[in-house]
Structures are given as structure tokens and as C-alpha cells.
Structure 1
Amino acid sequence: MRFWIASPISALPFFVFSLLQLTIASTSNTPQQEPCTVISAQSGNFFDLRPLTRTSASTSSSSSSSNTVHDWTARGHDYPANFTLNICAPVLSDVADVVSVSTSQKSNISAFYITQEGKQYSIGSVSTNPYFRGRKLVLVYAGGSPCPAPDGEEREKSKSSKKKKGSGYRKSTIMSHLCDRDAVRPVISFVGEVNECGYFFEVRSSAACPTAGTQALGPVSVFGIIGLVAALVYLVGGCVYQRTVMHARGWRQMPNYAVWAGLVGGVWALIRSIWDRCASKLHLPRSSYDLIGARRSSLESENRLIDALDEDWGEDA
């Protein structure tokens, strides 16, 4: 019977080790991150850009035609074209005539523009992996239509048999997402382009603000939980053992009571010693134990004096 009662204490190391294994397994088997979401490595905040994704089901019911699609658009201003794009998904518009993109890749186009001549150019294929560049939340589309060759390079190769219409690079898009909690819908602004090859946009929306999300526990939290559970098992299991096996009562039910009592007594004695030293220098009352001892000594002196007087009176009588 003694073995079965004491087993919770003896099994404490095994319990803690098992808890550690389960915690590590649970953190290592956390589900993969959802597309179009990201967790900041600096702040640990969770960001979800999925509300910005346009689908056929998100078309406006007030449209005059039920077949009208609504991608996000951005004005080019001084650039001779406006832009059509989607976030973390291909565009809903027709891109059958886009320039120099294979048929198999046309269904993945997420941003394009149409020139005044009516030509469609892709500026990137779909990506669902936003990331942080420092504190900037960025989404990049790559693999668009071929970039034009610089004028100088094109003139140098104009007489060459290896002349190509493009530079070998393809158009791409970089979108910087900024938090704007007051934005009812995203505000997409065209910032600029480089050599008709790289296109930069700024997207302000409430979706770029940190939101609540499921996050894995950090190492500090994991070991904090393990330590708390181990302390509870130590106290509860130790009290049960001391009460049932050692028949202890009161504070003696605490596991390793003698050790803890000696530690507390040593700390209290140190505090008393420091207080007495300070009291002797500042002429302050000493500790309560010293006052009690002085009171007892005074009472004993009074009792001896009374006894001596009683004896004297008895002899006189």
C-alpha cells in the first residue's frame, strides 16, 4: 500500500518529461500558415489579407449586369495606362489577349494594364505569400510580360542576328500594405515604375492591421507552463504523501517541511540581525522577541522582589 501512495511523488520526473514531450510535439505540429496571412517576426502580430481578395461571389449586387466583375483598380495618373489587380488571387477580368504570356499562365495573372493602343501587359502572376521587409508588409507578383530592352541595348543589337524584343526580364509588381482602420475599402495608389519593368503600389486598408490569430506558444511560455505544472504536482503530491503515509498535520504536511522551515527561519534570523544592528545604532526599539524577553525578565525580577518581601514580613511576624 505504501508503494502505491508514494508513486505520484516518484513519478514526478517522468510526468514532467512527458509533459515536455507533449508540449514540444504540439508546437512542432502546429498547422501550416494559411495563404495570404503572415505573422510579424518582430512584433508577433498576425495579419490577414484575405478580405482583400476579389472573387466572383464578391461582385456588387447593385451592378447593372450580373456578369460584371470587379477587380481592384488604380489610376496611372501621368503613366499612360490604368492598372487592374487582385490581392492573393488571379484577376477576374478577361486576359486572353495579354502579351507574351503562355496560355497555361494566363489564368494566374494577378495584375495587368492596357495601353492606349489596346495592348494588355501582365505585371505579375498570383502570389499568396506576403512577407515583412523590416516593418513593411509586402506582397510581390512576378513573371509578367517581358520587359522592353533599354534603348541603347536595342540599338546595339539592331543589326545582330541574336536580337530579341525583350531584355530577358519580366514585369513584376510590389505592393506595400499599410494599416488604415478607417478605410471602408482598400485605397490602391500607383507609386511609380522602373524601366517599364517594376511597378510599385501602396495599398491602405483595414486588412493590413494586426488582428487576433492562432499563434504557437513561445519557448518562455512553454517552460513557464511546465514549471507551473511541476510545482503543482510537487505541492499536491507531497501533501498527500505526508498526510497519508507520514500522518503529518498542519504545516508539516508540506513536502520537505524541515528544509523550508529551516530556510524561512534562517531568513527571519538574518532580518532580525540586520534590524538589531540598525536599531542599536539609531537607538530604535529592537525586535519584538527582544522586547518580549525584556518584559519577561522584568516580570521575573518583580516576582523575586515580592518573594523576598514576603519572607522578610514572615520573619518579622
Structure 2
Amino acid sequence: MYAQLWCLCLAAVSALAADSPTLFNECLVPGDKKSAAETALLKRLEPLKNKRFEVTDTDGPDTYTYTLVICNRTLEDAKSTNEGLVQINKATSKTSVIGRINDTYVFNGSDWIMLVYRSGDPYGGHCDNEPRKAMIMISCNKNTLGDGFTIISEERNKSQDCFYLFEMDSSVACPIEDSHLSVGSVLLIVFAVLLALYIIGGFVYQRFVVGAKGIEQFPNITFWQELGNLVADGCDFVCRSRARSSETAYRGVGDDQLGEEPEERDDHLLPM
């Protein structure tokens, strides 16, 4: 009896642990008090969570490999310490944590997101031995989910606020485009739907109720033919390219068209 209850308790705890994020599986701001803006940005970064990004860089005689994960650990074992970005010296195999996911800061601009991992391993002889910090500039690139991970520089020639600067391209940093339809598009869709219903419904009615055949199945065919004739006449009147030839006018011969004949004087015929 007790063994069965113990098994049920273990199963319930396992299910809750699987469904809820843990300290080792997400980016956490100090005190785990994310603002609404930070929560929205971290949500946008979720497609990159299970990816690993690596870049190799040579600094003088030393060659380093940098490994980045987004809101996840680079090491999936018991030795993991929330490392989000690590540096490995290829000559000595020494691993240094540049930043940890449980001390994250994130902000953005119009087409970029800045992800900051803090609380890295302390510098050894630089920057007053302060903890390392990684700044990853994620720039908008609609053609890739995640690519071009590159180290830009390491700012360590000062007493404090030193950092490693990285850059990468990702579509998650691109502005979110509104997909809502405009008023004009909605009206066009409604008009197209109503026109389709009119044609299909009228065709069915004419064919199966009226019993029309051929072109007579088109709804209100007489009205549309007359409308077409009127439109054609109007277009012919407005868009005619040549002047209409004038008809020959025939006029009848009337008295008004006859000119007055000059009066003949015969006074010269009278005897003097």
C-alpha cells in the first residue's frame, strides 16, 4: 500500500518537474523578476533555445573557442553552473565561463536584441578581477534562424565594466509585422464572397427551379445584357476616336428658296 503511494508521489513530482521550467533551463534576471518587456523578448528568443553556436578566435599566441547557448546550459551534466557562454583555451583546455543564464539582462531596438549574460568567472589580472560579462548583439536577418556567430572584441583594458562583445544574425530579432487586413481588403473579400454566392445561387435556381438551359441559366441574364449594351454605347460615345460622319441633308425646293426675279420693264417699247 505504502509502496504504491510512494510511486504515485514520485510520478506526480516528475510530471510537475517536466512541465515547469527550472533554474537550469531558462534565462533569469536577478531575483527572477522579469518585466513585461523582458518576458516578451525572452519569448521571442525561444526558437534559438536548443541551438549551440561556436566561433574560434586567435588572440596573440592563444586560440580560444567560444560556445553560446540561448537560455540553456552549455554543459548538460552535474558540473553545470548555469553557464550560457564559455571560453575554452585550445592549448590548455581550460574552460572559463563568460556569462551565466541565471544573471541575464535583455533589451532591444527596432531590428536588434541585446542579450547580456553576467556573473561569469572572475578575470585573472584584468578589470580588478571583476566577473566576466558577455554581450550578444542579435541582428535582424529574415533569411536565417541563427547564423554568423562572431566575437567582435573584448574590452578589458579598464578597471571595471569590462565585457566580451559578440554578434550574430537571426530572424527572431526582426520587427513583428502586423498581419491584419486593411478595410479595403475586407471590403474586397466581402464583395467577392457575395458575388460568388449570387452567381452560384442564381445558377442553381435558374437550372433546377426555372428549368433554364444554356446561357439562360445565368441569373438576370436580360438585365446584364441590357446593362452591357448601355455600357458599350456609353464607351462608344465617350471613347470614339473618329468624328461621326455627317449625314447628307436633302432639302426640298420651296418657294422660300426661289429668289425674286427682277422686274422686267418694257417702257422702252412704248411709242414716244
- TM-score category of the 2 structures, normalised to the smaller one: 0.3 to 0.5
TM-score w.r.t. structure 1 length?
0.40
Whose strand proportion is higher, 1 or 2? 2
Structure having the larger proportion of residues in helix: 1
- Higher Rg of the two aligned structures: 2
